[in-house]
Structure formats: structure tokens, C-alpha cells
Amino acid sequence: MRQAQAERFVVGITDHMIPPPDLEAAVLDGIAEVDFLDCRREEDLDPERLARLDALLVWSTRIGPATVERLKRCRIVVRFGVGYDRVDVAALEAAGIPFCNNPDYGTEEVADHAVALILSLQRRLWEHDARARSYGATWQANTLTPLRRSTAATVGVVGVGRIGTAVVNRLKGFGHRILGYDPQQPAGHEKAVGYRRVRRLADLLADSDIVTFHCPLNAETRGLLDDRMLAAMKPGAILVNTARGELFAGLDPLERALRSGHLAAVGTDVLPVEPPAPHPLLDAWRSREAWLAGRLVVTPHNAFHSDEAAIEMRRNAAETVRLFLEDGTLRNRIRD
């Protein structure tokens, strides 16, 4: 895989949250020049610039068959993040181009974010804050019920991979009873990590006071959270999603479950469409309507972020490219 010293690879970067790509250039220094394509839309990618790339780093731009066809020299495509639903892995495989993601950054951040949502919604902190604004003659007497202590609450973790495991490890210190559902984990994983394994998702939903989702987006999980699945949750349960917005089958089922009271609260870092399109549920959230007070917490898809994680993400992805171009080493390869 080594090139002569006089030759340099060309590594493209589709787009980025934090330009210029100086950190990536530093990692690739001595072996490659960086071409910052600065395109968030696939149709805006320049075919001539794509054709000269030896590697491509992808942030948010879709990489479909048309783009893959234009990667004439490309030897590897690497996603900055963990999810890769906007990358056509099958098309890359057909073209003989390996694809790698970046699963070993941001684990702590997403786990912390999920646990923060779990604890704040369990303690009804947001609802206390919303309602306390109107209190006058009374104060401490304004308690909310039901409000369960952690040792009396069951948390169901859907997806017990890196992030799900980190969530389990954090929750154990609070004394929750923890259930886990993940058919991809080997037998005995629950014993090593410390949770009770549930073989059927329906059983976890029916038995959990709080359900937190950490599963990937694929054909099986897309639209998972529809009316039927939400109805299968325990009445008065709390739902937390720091995985993918497309797990929601739109916002209508979520609104119905919250309006009816079947769900006590929802905390989500992700939405089906981002930035969100207008919807009555989000209108009620934005205008702080009384029926929703403190029951819907939305953060703008930044659970992964910390100053340290932003650096780790960029460095890891660039190092994956360098490892392959220099030594032919593939790490974190994804196959269709």
C-alpha cells in the first residue's frame, strides 16, 4: 500500500462542522494533501475532484451510487461518526472500496447525556421547573406524584453495545433494576456487564418504567417506535432516545402517547427530520403548553459532543485513513 515518497495521496473531506480541516491535515501530514470539498449535498460534489481522491472522509453528505461511480481512484471511505445510514455500503463494496465508521469516540458523552435525561425525567425536574414558575402562596408543598426512587424503578436498555453498556455501568450506581435487549450480543454478555437479559423486546417494554434506546438504524429498527410499539410500553413509562431520530415512526404516534398520558415523558436528542419540520407536538413544546409542561425534553442532536470528543472524532477518522494508506490496515470496517 505504500507510495513512493515523491507521490502524495489526496484525501477528500465532504463537509464538516468545524472547518478548516487543520486537525485532519496534521494527522495526514507527510503522506497526503487534504481537499476540503465543502459540500453538504451529494449533487453538489464536483466529479473531477472526486475522481482524483485516494480516500474520502464523510461527515453528513449522502454517498450514493452516483458518487461511488465517480470515485475512480478511491481506496477507502471513512465516516467521521458512528451511524452510516446515508452511505451506500453495498455500492462501495461493489466498487471494491472498503468502508469504515468511527465507533470509538463520544461513547462517554452519549451515555452521560442519556443518563442525564433518564434521571432528570425520573425526578421530574423539568416539570418541577415549569410548574414552579406559577407558584405563589405555596412552595414546598407542591410535590409531584408518582415519583419513584431509583431503587424502585426498572430501566430497559434497547441495544447494549458500546454506548448501551456505558449506560448500564452508569445506572448501576443509582440502584436501578436494569433490563437489556440486544440479540447481537453474545451469550454471557449480561453477566459480564451486569444486567438482566430479556429475549423479547415486548417483555422489556412491558416491564420497564424507563426505556432508553441505543440501537443502530437499519431496516429492522427504522420506524420501530410506532403506535403499536409505544402502546406496548408500560403505562406511565418514560422514553429516552439518543440513538437515531428515524427510530420514531414520525411524531404523530409520540404526540398521541403523550397526550393520552400513556407515556409520562419523553427525552430525545434526535428527531425524524432535522432541523425539525413544523408539527403540533413541537409547536406545543416550543410554546410551553401546559399539558406538555416538563414532559418533553428535546436537545438538538448533540449528545455526542464535548470539546474532547470533537477532537477525538476527527483524529480517529483521519488515523483510520492513514493506517490504511500506509499499511493496508483496516479498522472498524463495515460490510453490507
Which residues are tagged catalytic?
A: 244, 274, 301
Residue 266's DSSP bridge partners are: 239, 296
- Whether residue 7 contacts residue 32, with contact meaning beta carbons closer than 8 Å, is answered with no
CA neighbor of 108 nearest in space, from 308, 318, 317: 308
- Whether residue 34 contacts residue 322, with contact meaning beta carbons closer than 8 Å, is answered with no
Residue 34's DSSP bridge partners are: 11
Name the grid cell of 142: 407542591
- Whether residue 280 contacts residue 253, with contact meaning beta carbons closer than 8 Å, is answered with no
Between CA 45 and CA 37 the distance in angstroms is: 7
Report the side by side order of strands in the sheet with 32-36: 32-36, 9-13, 55-58, 76-79, 99-100, 333-334
Name the grid cell of 75: 481506496
Between CA 176 and CA 47 the distance in angstroms is: 54
Q: Which residue has the cell 456505558?
A: 166
Cβ atoms within 10 Å, residue 308: 12
